[in-house]
Amino acid sequence: MNPIQTDVAIVGAGPAGLLLARMLQLQGIDAVVLERRSRDYVLGRVRAGIIEQPVAELLVELGVGERMLADRLVHDGVQLQHHAGDRMVRDRIDFAALTGKTVTVYGQRELVRDLIGLREADGLPLRFGAEVIGLDGLSDDRVAVRYRDEAGESTISARYVAGVDGAHGITAQLLDGAERQTLQRSYPAAWLGVLVEAAPPSHELIYARHPEGFALASMRTPEVSRLYLQVPAGDTLADWSSDRIWEHLHRRLDLPGSPVNEGRFLESSITPLRSVVHRRMRYGRLLLGGDAAHVVPPTGAKGLNLAVADMTQLSRRLGGVLLRGDEAALDGYQESCLHRVWQVTHFSWWMTDLLHRLESDEFGEELRTEQLRTLADGGPLAQWFADSYTGLPLTPWS
Ligand code: RFL
Ligand code: PHB
């Protein structure tokens, strides 16, 4: 039997893969999305919560913004909590005043649900339970994408492959380690995250630096909080009873009149903190993007947003080669992505270092305290922070 033919095989139905599929569809380019997990699993995964302003605008432009615009919370600032002398203070970084921009609070789970709903309503190919196991012919005219599903093993023949299969995917692993030119940094810490049925302690996010470690009070809706605690790398959920989690959340986050509200846990998970950059994002007809190409620690709320930025580059360049016959269109893909990747990798590293307790080092502590003071003054450092957090401009997707 002849294999199914498509222009672009997209490996992974995370935000990167689903958005790329949408951008290609709007340009009239054929694509097949293959996802190894089940539909229910993908729809149930709790991850990011913060969408940059340029990304929110892009989602509207792509016709994916209807439910987001109705249900989102728009934030025009964040709170940074830390010790000043013997007091805990909360400094507000005013995004609106510093940049005129805002961020959108809307769960990644909801965005993924919207994208899957649209693709299915349009009757376009999106296969769940289809795990890609090999790619043959990356330097030839077409690539054979081998995958396994409940019917057994099959092949799709594609002109290009988007490797957007996340940090634990296969596409980057198919390449020799030396070819990937990977740089990475690990941190001796992880985030324990809980989704809680209770109102958040403030109408804005609170990022807290505390002698016992970082904590973050975020939210999904006015009735559902998303709370995080820095825990030692290697801890598991079994090390953290709910009583212990609440004790730490109260100690690290509560201020008089603004306590963390307790409620039922709807979900809990532990995520290690790490930075990874594969400096090669293209191998012949395979193009890597999103978490498959780079991972940032979640402190700056950047992973999903950076994945979207890669996809605007990839979509436009695939349009160049497939619609306009510009064979050179993909040549600059990795260079143009890596500029933003390193800016965002720096921002995420900086914010992680500023707010976590990673080592006991008085010199470093003084430097961090001084940066928090400088941020509170609202000068150029605050401006840079607000610009980076609310999101650098995106390049056109078509
Ligand atoms: P994903 O979302 O991991 O999707 C990849 C998909 O590929 C599938 N897959 C395969 N499919 C077929 N064949 C194979 N061989 C396959 N191998 C894997 C996987 O099942 C999966 O469905 O990657 P993508 O699309 O690049 O998106 C990246 C984002 O998901 C990630 O960067 C964010 O979640 C990071 N992140 C945050 N980003 C933000 O922008 N703002 C935030 O507020 C934010 N908070 C977070 C976060 C990530 C967190 N965790 C859990 C890592 C908070 C946390 C706690
Ligand atoms: C979240 O709401 O999940 C969230 C918010 C801000 C971050 C990371 C995660 O920096």
User: How many angstroms is it from 222 CA to the middle of ligand 1?
Assistant: 25
- Give the per-residue pLDDT at 152: 96
Residue nearest to atom 37 of ligand 1 (CA): 48
Residue 220 alpha carbon, nearest atom of ligand 2: 2
- Give the per-residue pLDDT at 171: 96
Q: Residue 285 has which token pair?
A: 């007809």
Options 15, 54, 75, 283, the catalytic residue: 75
User: What's the pTM?
Assistant: 0.96
Q: Is the CB of 301 under 6 A from ligand 2?
A: yes
User: How many angstroms is it from 367 CA to the middle of ligand 1?
Assistant: 33
Residues in the chain with pLDDT values less than 50? none
Looking at the DSSP bridge assignments, the partners of residue 206 are 79, 217
Q: Residue 49 has which token pair?
A: 């919560």
Pocket residue to mutate for ligand 1, from 304, 311, 337, 340, most atoms within 8 A of Cβ: 304
Across the chain, the runs of DSSP E, i.e. the strands, are 4-11, 31-34, 50-51, 73-75, 77-84, 87-94, 103-105, 126-127, 131-136, 143-149, 152-163, 182-197, 206-208, 215-221, 224-232, 264-278, 282-283, 286-288, 294-295
Count of all residues that appear for the chain in the document: 398
Residue 292 burial (10 A CB sphere; 0-12, 13-18, 19+): buried
User: Catalytic site residue 302?
Assistant: yes
- Give the per-residue pLDDT at 369: 93
Options 106, 207, 228, 283, the catalytic residue: 207
Residue 171 alpha carbon, nearest atom of ligand 1: 15
Q: Which helix (H) or strand (E) holds 342?
A: helix 333-355
* SS3 (DSSP) at 200: coil
Options 160, 302, 333, 356, the catalytic residue: 302
User: Catalytic site residue 389?
Assistant: yes
**Over the stretch 299-317, which tens digit does the pLDDT of each residue have?**
999 999 999 999 999 999 9
Number of the ligand closest to the Cα of 351:
2
Residue 301 alpha carbon, nearest atom of ligand 2: 10
User: Catalytic site residue 106?
Assistant: no
User: How many angstroms is it from 68 CA to the middle of ligand 2?
Assistant: 17
Pocket residue to mutate for ligand 2, from 47, 194, 202, 216, most atoms within 8 A of Cβ: 216
- Give the per-residue pLDDT at 1: 65
